Amino acid sequence: MALDTSIPVLVVDDYKTMIRIIRNLLKQLGFEDVDEAADGTEALGKMKERRYGLVISDWNMEPMTGYELLKQVRSDSSLSKTPFIMVTAESKTENVIAAKKAGVNNYIVKPFNAPTLKSKIEAVFGD
Amino acid sequence: MSDMSSEHVAKIIDFLRNGRKAEDVSLEDVMRLAELMAESFQSFFKTMDLAIYTELGEMAREIANMKEELALLRLSDMRDEHIPTAGRELDAIVEATEEATNTIMSAAEEIMAADAADTDAYQALVGEKVIDIFQACSFQDITGQRISKVVSTLNALDKRITTLVEKLKILRITDAAGNETEAEKRARELMLNGPQFKGEGVSQDDIDAFF
């Protein structure tokens, strides 16, 4: 089954360059509808206004981290089913386990490349 | 001290042994007792004064020596010059890497967006943008030099702190248990560990296997 690239994607990162990188990689993969947020609070606000087909979030952000955003999303019945991929430099075992426990769909360690991003998105959508 | 005061103590004991009953004690008796007590304490304080005076003198000499040794460490140089300079170097590194990244990304984005149908124009654009990318990569040389200066400052700071610790003889003092700051508490609870060194964190392959 081909990847549905028409879904709106929300990229959450406090580092503008990283948003730009992910946005370009997503564009290469065919995703055109890409929105962005600088931290968990802004992302949560956007998610309550619009239904996203995928959230790609960093972990370490202020004031709300990606981990807190993930927990908020999973505890909100209207958002809980949203696919969520963590893209982060946090590569300690405790981080990966905590994210998995909190309900993350996949986990990418920075620095990453385009094939890794593609394969994780495909894995989330079962392709 | 005990020899000097024993005579007075004996007088007080004699005074108390005279068997005076409460109703027999006059104001003169009380004054006499106070006088005896005062004499005893005077002897005691005379001895103590001398010991304290000697001790304070030694401490003053020790402090003066310490001040001379601290001056030789030129700690104010570190505070007023080296550390602020290191901070400026780090800011400049962040700025240079950000500028270079933006230049490289803009060039790459222009190549991505270019129309390849017109082969000559496309080739010229790619050539021009590749040169931009090469030029932007020169930031690595300058930031490398800046990083070397920061590392030198850290090494000098480390050396001076080590010397200070040795001179102050505080190696055997156990560090006081510090209270966790709000920022430290948040970092611990939210697992804000930051990037790990190569080979220390879990690899993408390990994570994939876990998922």
**Ordered domains of chain A (ranges, CATH):** 9-124 (3.40.50.2300)
User: pLDDT tens digits, residue range A83-117?
Assistant: 999 999 999 999 999 999 999 999 999 988 889 99
Inter-chain CB proximity B211 and A106 less than 8 Å = yes
pLDDT for the residue B3: 47
Judged by a CB distance cut-off of 8 A, whether residue B192 touches chain A is yes
What CA–CA distance (Å, rounded) separates B95 from B100? 9
Average pLDDT over residues B27-55: 73
What CA–CA distance (Å, rounded) separates A86 from A64? 14
- Give me A76's structure tokens: 């909100």
What CA–CA distance (Å, rounded) separates B140 from A74? 42
Query: CA-CA distances (angstroms) from residue B120 to B115, B123, B124, B127, B134?
Result: 11, 5, 6, 11, 21
User: pLDDT tens digits, residue range B87-113?
Assistant: 999 999 999 999 999 999 999 999 999
Among A63, A83, A61, which residue's Cα sits nearest to residue A73?
A83
Burial (0-12, 13-18, 19+ Cβ within 10 Å), A38 = middle
What CA–CA distance (Å, rounded) separates B58 from A76? 70
With beta carbons under 8 A apart, name residues in chain A contacting B104: none
Judged by a CB distance cut-off of 8 A, whether residue B183 touches chain A is no
- What are the sequence ranges of the domains in chain B? 2-70, 74-170
